[in-house]
Amino acid sequence: MVASNPFARLFGTSPIKPLQLHMAASVLCASKLNAFFAAAFADNWALAEEIFAEISAAEHEADRINKEFRMNMPKSLFMPVSRGDLLSIISIQDDIADQAKDIAGIILGRQLQVPPPLQKKFTAFVENSALACDKALVAVNELDELLETGFTGQEVKLVEKLIRELDKQEQRVDKGEKSLRHRLFALESDMNPIDAMFLYSTIDNIGALADLAKAIGNRLELLMAK
C-alpha cells in the first residue's frame, strides 16, 4: 500500500510538492517581518513577541519538512532533475526561514530601536526583501509544470520571465540597502555604538533574504539549462 511507504506518504508521486510546501513555510517567515517591524516601530514589544512566535512556528515547520525530505528521498530519482539539485534548492530555502527568524530574534532580544528618521525607508526595504522571497516562491511553484512539459515550451518562457522579475527585485533591494546604510551612517554618531553595529548587521541580513531568493532563481535557471 502507498501509505506504508514513507517516501510515498511524503512525496506522493513527486518530490516537488514538499519542496513547494517547504518554500511556502520559509517565505511565510520572511513575510511576517513586515508586521514584526511595524510592531517594533510602535514600541509594541508584546505584539512583536507574538509575531516572533509565529515566525518561529513557521521556521519549525520548514525544518520538519526539510528533515523528512532528506530522510525519505531515494538515492536516485526517475526525473529530469537530480537528487542533488533538489537538495541544493531546499537548503537555500531553509536559509530564508533561518535568516528571517534570526533577524526578528535579534531585534526582539535587544528591543533594538530603528531611529525614526530611518523607519519609512527601513519599512520599504523590509517589504521589498520579503517581496523578492514571494517572487521566488511563485517561481518554485511552477517547477511541477516545468517537469510535466519536459522543460520546454511556454512554461519555460514563463519561468524565465519570473526569474527576470526576481532579479530586478533583488536589484531594488540592493539599491535600498545601500541607501539605508548611507542614511544610518549619517545618524550613527548620535546612537549607542552597539545598537548601531547591530542595526548595520540587521540591514545586511535583511538584504541577504533577497540574495537567497535570487539564488533560488539561479538554481531554477540552471535546471532549465541542463
Tell me whether residue 3 is in a domain.
no
Residues 64 and 179: their CA atoms lie apart, in Å, by 37
With bands split at pLDDT 50, 70 and 90, how would you rate the model's confidence at 89? Answer: very high
Q: Please say whether the beta carbons of 36 and 104 come within 8 A.
A: yes
With bands split at pLDDT 50, 70 and 90, how would you rate the model's confidence at 45? Answer: very high
Model pTM?
0.91
Q: What is the pLDDT of residue 1?
A: 38
Mean pLDDT of 34-48: 98
Which residues does 200 contact at the CB level (< 8 Å), separation at least 6? Answer: 181, 184
Tell me whether residue 36 is in a domain.
yes
Share of the chain above pLDDT 90, in %: 77
Q: What is the largest CA-CA distance in the chain?
A: 67
Mean pLDDT of 161-174: 97
Tell me whether residue 134 is in a domain.
yes
Q: Is 10's pLDDT higher than 60?
A: no
Q: What is the pLDDT of residue 139?
A: 95
Residue for grid cell 532549465: 224
The DSSP letter of residue 177 is: H
Q: Is 55's pLDDT higher than 80?
A: yes
| CATH code: domain of residue 124 | 1.20.58.220
Domains contained in the chain, number: 1
Residues 221 and 215: their CA atoms lie apart, in Å, by 10
Tell me whether residue 9 is in a domain.
no
The DSSP letter of residue 143 is: H
Q: What is the pLDDT of residue 67?
A: 94
Residues 98 and 100: their CA atoms lie apart, in Å, by 6
Dig out the grid coordinates for 119 from the structure. Answer: 523607519
Tell me whether residue 8 is in a domain.
no
Tell me whether residue 27 is in a domain.
yes
Q: Please say whether the beta carbons of 34 and 130 come within 8 A.
A: yes
Domain that holds residue 48: 15-225
The DSSP letter of residue 96 is: H
Tell me whether residue 74 is in a domain.
yes
Residues 213 and 128: their CA atoms lie apart, in Å, by 12
Tell me whether residue 176 is in a domain.
yes
